[in-house]
Copies of this chain bind each other. A is one copy, B any other.
């Protein structure tokens, strides 16, 4: 068993979003991203098998998808997509995101 508190483990930065590797194993990879308002995880994808979940722990913004697609993002939202599917996030307020990738890439 391994426990981490995300609110203690990582804060925010005005210069760029922050990234913390929470866990990495043969089964999944878990990453915490903290965004200041206006910061963005640019849309991207990887041509591999698997899926990922994006969980918004705090804050508001938009999920980014292919062809300029936008979906509102707010606390309690869980977005699931294929790793091969373009995805990203833009924060409108300070925002904490938890990403789980299975299998890990």
Whether B28 contacts A79 by the Cβ 8 Å rule is no
Give the distance in Å from the alpha carbon of A80 to the alpha carbon of B55 in the complex. Answer: 16
Q: Which of B4, B22, B27 contacts A50 (CB 8 A)?
A: B27
CB distance from A5 to the nearest CB of B (A): 5
Does A41 have its Cβ within 8 Å of any Cβ on chain B?
A: no
Main secondary structure of the interface of A (DSSP, over half): strand
CB distance from A49 to the nearest CB of B (A): 8
Residues from chain B with a CB closer than 8 A to the CB of A57 are 57, 76
Residues from chain B with a CB closer than 8 A to the CB of A15 are none
Residues from chain B with a CB closer than 8 A to the CB of A76 are 5-8, 57
Whether B27 contacts A71 by the Cβ 8 Å rule is no
